[in-house]
Structure 1
Amino acid sequence: MRAAVFTGHGRPLAVRDIDAPEPDPEGVVVETEVCGICRSDWHAWQGDPLWESRGLEDGHVLGHEPAGVVVDVGEDVEQVREGDRVTVPFNLGDGTCPSCRNGHSNLCDNRLPLGLAPESPGAFGEQFHVPWADFNVVRLPDGVAPIDMAGLGCRFMTAFHALVHRADVTAGDWVAVHGCGGVGLSAVHIADAVGANVVAVDLFDEKLDVAAGLGAVETVNANAVEDVPEEVAAITDGGADISVDALGIAETCRNSVRCLRKRGQHLQIGLTSSEEGGEVSLPTDLMVANELQFIGTIGMPRPRYDEIFRMLAHGKIDPAAMVSETVSLDQTGEKLASMTEFETVGIPVIDEF
């Protein structure tokens, strides 16, 4: 099969013919219809913290925002059939650990981040393997287009879990979103869908225009103001109730915390780069004095996909609106590299393999 494969940290991906995957007894093989190109892929490509990507070897396949059709089924799989149209969470759980049993499969003790670890090849190719398929595979409802599912990948479901399950967003709350890449735009759209007033912050007017189209009632170009937290506080008459760092650099993380009103909640979605190395200093005394909450959030538990599907079915959300362009497999490396300078807008999706 054809795949865009890893050749070294920071080195161009190469499109090669490689062996197609075969299912293990509890797994399935899915023929890829679409796959988003995500900043988490970029972090893995760079060898940044958190993921096991520092151990990637030449020939590894990235890609963790897929949808497709099941084409081969392991002998012990009971609930998934050939021909099923499916997606999967990017954090694949074994279904048996305490976290999985308690509804938190995104925190599985034995999680395999699809495409982001050596033992879990991803979906930047014509096919990909899903372990523990009975637990991880999510069947697509009738009428859901593949492009919708690409929009509903890692970035959208992570933002959904953060705002709907981890924070206390209620109608009329002010939500500030720092960084309007794919996950940030998803957060803008979801916060608007649940009734919040959104302030979007970014360095690029083009991205802020998209954020406004997705529901942001105010936008802030961080290059055009002296102090981002002060600007957000002025817009919101005292500070945001919930603030999201959707990028992960030290500046956006601190700005997010500092723009909160008393008893506000900071959501950390963005992962740090090599410059931060997984560590960011914070205004701790301010957090204590104002009783601020710092909330980490990653992915979304497998059992909660139906919440998104119900909102999608009734027109409450439009994940396809996050998709900025479709590209071929041969363009994957170029699009991944463009994220280094934050050149992508929205979610680029591979739909030609």
Structure 2
Amino acid sequence: MMRATVLYGPKDVRLEQVPDPKILEPTDAIIRVLVACICGSDLWPYRGYDPVPEEGRPMGHEAVGVVEAVGKEVRTVKPGDVVLMPFAISDGSCEFCHEGLTTACVHVGFFGYSPGVGGAQAEAVRIPLADGTLYRVPVSEDDRELLPHLLTLTDVMGTGHHAAVTARVGPGKIAAVIGDGAVGLCGVLAARRLGAERIILLGHHPDRLELGRAFGATDVVTERGEAAVERVLELTGGFGAHSVLECVGTEEAVETAVQIARPGGAIGRVGVPHHEGIPAGVTFFKNVIVAGGPAPTRAYMPELVPDVLEGRIEPGRVFDLTLPLDRVAEGYRAMDERRAIKVMLEP
């Protein structure tokens, strides 16, 4: 038996004893979790906005681990390897995986959501389609200082990067990032990495905005709604931003995004949507591109891992609270109450 996090309903998260994961298919692997974390998207079911099965939902979809066992058809990882576990399962061989869109894999699944697939806020996880899903990194489990930075590549840094890529961030452009959570902050880092000339961060929490500045934000906007739109337009000479990274997913955030996008600009939306739709008229008449979706973080790892290993980016700074796994409920409360940007868990 092992310990794993299970959510039963609003604010009801528990650490329970569950059966150890086993190899079920020849393409499976088992990893022992070194570090995992709580995601902002985990707060939607925690707050009661998303349904939870009566039997509970295993929680967690981001982990760095050590391979403990592999099925007989696994070729790319072996026991003892340190690996990144992205939030989505992919086979690595279908047409969409070859195109770099692993979250559209014909065999896609999601940790904690797909039937029979556990969550990462646990001591161990079974990894289906291990060859396509896991990414081996040339580090030791004793490289503790690197682990937080590598962990972000399984979701939040990869997702912030996806927002920047789909928003067409590039040299000489003005980028606006909506949201000062972990994904938004990583979006700032990604926009700087891709060469944005100015980066405007829209948020409301002084400690997060301070980290955003450290990550590369040149301006911060603390106003909300129409006042935020007016402020961004003022900062951009009335034109708006070339690239807008929408990292929240609420109706207000989407409305702000379309209003501050420059004519001919692009919006990269990665906030899990909890809204009715995207204003069609504004985007149409401004010729604004709307792109984004679930980030193919597995496809971005070959590009981002070297930057972490060589110290060019330090996205793990978004973890401002680290707790042992047996205090996972405290971690959820801290994020729910905005007392932590992102919580890292150590089994």
Same fold (TM over 0.5): yes
Match of 2:343 among 328, 340, 348: 348
User: Could you tell which deviates more after superposition, 21-30 or 140-149?
Assistant: 140-149
Structure 2 residue 71 is matched with structure 1 residue 74:
yes
Deviation readout 1:123-178 (Å, 9 max, x if unpaired) = 111101111111111001337622222232311111112323x2321112111111
Identify which of 288, 293, 306 aligns with 1:292: 288
Equivalence for 2:324: 328
Question: What is the CA deviation profile of residues 14-52 of structure 1, one whole-angstrom value per residue up to 9, with x for unaligned ones?
Answer: 112211101222111100000021012223445656xxx
Identity %: 27
For residue 113 of structure 1, what is the amino acid of its counterpart? F
Which residue of 125, 128, 139 corresponds with 2:125?
128
Match of 1:170 in 2: 170
For structure 1, the 5+ residue unaligned runs are: none
1:121 maps to a residue whose letter is: G
Q: How far apart are residue 304 of structure 1 and its match?
A: 3.3
- In structure 2, list runs of 5 or more residues that go unmatched: none
TM-score by structure 2 length? 0.90
Instruction: Describe how 1:90-105 pairs up with structure 2 within 5 A.
Output: 90-105=87-102
In the other structure, the counterpart of 2:254 is 253
1:113 counterpart residue number: 110
Report what 1:183 is aligned to.
183
CA distance in 1, matches of 2:278, 2:193: 32
* Number of the residue aligned with 1:22: 22
TM-score (normalised: structure 1): 0.89
Alignment of 1:101-250 (within 5 A): 101-142=98-139, 145-164=146-165, 166-196=166-196, 197-222=198-223, 227-237=227-237, 238-250=239-251
Amino acid at match of 2:296: M
Distance 1:7 1:58, change over 3 A: farther
1:120 and 1:46 map into 2 onto residues whose CA distance is 23
> Structure 2 counterpart of 1:350, which letter?
L
User: Contact 1:103/1:301 (CA < 8 Å) preserved in 2?
Assistant: no
Q: Distance in 2 between matches of 1:101 and 1:213?
A: 35
| Structure 2 residue 309 is matched with structure 1 residue 308 | no
Q: For 2:114 and 2:212, how far apart are their aligned partners in 1?
A: 32
Find the aligned partners of 2:267 and 2:138 in 1 and give their Cα distance: 33
**Cα distance change of structure 1 residues 72 and 47 upon mapping to structure 2, 3 Å threshold:** farther
TM-aligned CA distance change 1:133 to 1:43, over 3 Å: same
Is contact 1:241-1:264 (8 Å) kept?
A: yes
Q: CA RMSD in A?
A: 2.1
